[in-house]
Structure 1
Amino acid sequence: MNNALDMVKQEKIVSIIRLDQADQVEEVARSLYRGGINIIEVTMNTPGALEAIRTINHMPEAILVGAGTVLDAASANAAIRAGAKFLLAPTLNTETIKMGNRYGVPVIPGVMTPTEALTAHEAGATMVKVFPVRSLGPAFAKDMKGPLPQTELMAVGGVSAENAGEFFQAGWDAVGIGGSLVNAQLVKEKRFEEIETAARKLVDARDKAIQSSK
């Protein structure tokens, strides 16, 4: 179960794909991969999300694919059966965590308070997603890890290439980035090279932040 989470912590960047339709998901995934990002979350509210997860799993590129916006145990089960290697949720639902644990698939639930983070940890989640993080800021990692040092944190909702370095330097274990990386208009216009460029810019920000912290 820890293999997917180990990769998330190592790579530190999860690209969140939320589209009006999933027919371009393969090209989007390849653009991200060429830009240096190889962990992708397909949100369950993307039409054809389960098929998109299957598609990415069958690509020759070594991409770790998970499901996002997983709101309940039934959705978790469907995503796991489609091949999702990890699950993310905007909220905390302990039944969803239990479903993931049953099949050895890590669940990263959404939290905003230490109480929610501890509840998630006690239910079996080793990493939590602080969402939306834009109202809390990078320094919130220190606030959360003070009383709960065992908690691994992902920042989602307001992270971009311009501020990602601040989150890495502040001690966040990973970040999830959606529209500022995979812009729906770029996908619609098939401007995949711009998605690749955005991915590369984000990877550069990560690498510089890690290097400066050594």
Structure 2
Amino acid sequence: MKKLDYMNRIYDSGALAVVRASTDRVIEIAEGIVKGGVDVMEVSYTIDSAANSIKILKEKFGDKLLVGAGTVLDGETAKDAIKAGAQFIYSPMFDTEVAKLCNQYQIPYAPGCTSVTEAITALRAGATFVKIFPYGGIVGPDLIKTMKTPIPYLPLIESGGVTVDNITDWLEAGTDIVGIGGALSKGTVDDIAQSAQQFRNKIDEYRE
């Protein structure tokens, strides 16, 4: 099942790059993160060229990079992303139609949820991971720890405020996957590769 394969690959990476950029820049960022050991990227639909970027990344990198679509708010956008080749869907909100489409096409869905009730509702609808948004980045790792205490099986992504200096705190609190924006989007390809390698090392060290 490809959904299981994609889910495991996201978890094994432990990190994904959250990217909002033009197609040319998206390719540069992809080159950098793959070189640095992070092989999962989300291309945000806040950029008009998102679908084209996903298609090009799939053609250029093949199995070297798992490519998803981000900021997917409705079923129409989800269909467009899946048609373009998105291998997972990432969103700041939960939508039942998007959940149904992801289950139908067997790709992981990671919606943003603001409460425990919403997170459990999303899981029951078939969400693969849950992103605590936007409070995770505001409150910090203690929020993750608080949610994981009564619900230890909750598969959580944190996508706000994660840095090389604090990533271990997030992982120790119970975060399963971290989404990283600016730290994996700035500088040259080599700069990005160096940053990606730092995150890769931190994740590997924690998991060992």
TM-score (ref. length: structure 2): 0.92
Residues 1:179 and 2:182 aligned together: yes
Equivalent pair of 1:22/1:47 in contact (CA under 8 Å):
no
What displacement does 1:44 show? 0.8
Aligned-pair CA distance for 1:210: 2.0
For 1:206 and 1:60, the matched residues in 2 are separated by: 23
Aligned to 2:14: 12
2:122 equivalent in structure 1 = 120
Between the aligned partners of 1:126 and 1:60, the Cα distance in structure 2 is 24
Percent of pairs identical after alignment? 36
148, 161, 167: which is aligned to 2:170?
167
Distance across 2 between alignment mates of 1:46 and 1:204: 31
Return the alpha-carbon distance in structure 1 between the equivalents of residues 128 and 69 of structure 2. Answer: 17
The superposition leaves residues 99-148 of structure 1 with CA deviations (integer Å, 9 ceiling, x where unpaired) of 11111111100012101101101111131011231223213223222333
Instruction: Look up the SS of the partner of 1:105 in the other structure.
Output: coil
Q: Would you tell me which structure has more helix in proportion to its own residues?
A: 2
Equivalent AA in structure 1 for residue 184 of structure 2? L
Provide the residue aligned with 2:113 in structure 1: 111
How far did residue 171 of structure 1 move? 1.8
Alpha-carbon deviations, 1:18-45, whole Å to 9, x = none?
11x2222222211110011100110011
**Contact 1:160–1:181 (CA<8 Å) still a contact in 2?**
no
Q: Residue by residue, what CA displacement relative to the aligned partner does 1:167-187 show, whole Å, maximum 9, x if unpaired?
A: 11222110101112212xx3x
TM-score (norm 1): 0.90
Conserved 8 A contact 2:91-2:110: yes
Please list every run of at least 4 consecutive aligned residues from structure 1 whose deviation after the TM superposition is greater than 6 angstroms: none
Alignment gaps of 5+ in structure 1: none
- In the alignment, structure 2 segments of 5+ residues that lack a partner are none
Question: Which residue in 1 is equivalent to 2:195?
Answer: 198
- The question of 1:47 aligning with 2:44 is answered no
Residue 210 (structure 1) aligns with = 207
Alpha carbons of structure 1 residues 58 and 159: separation in structure 2 relative to 1, 3 Å: same
Aligned alpha-carbon RMSD (Å): 1.4
Task: State the partner residue of 2:39.
Answer: 38
Q: Whole-Å Cα distance in 2 between the matches of residues 53 and 74 of structure 1?
A: 16
Q: Is the CA contact (8 Å cut-off) linking 1:160 and 1:180 kept in structure 2?
A: yes
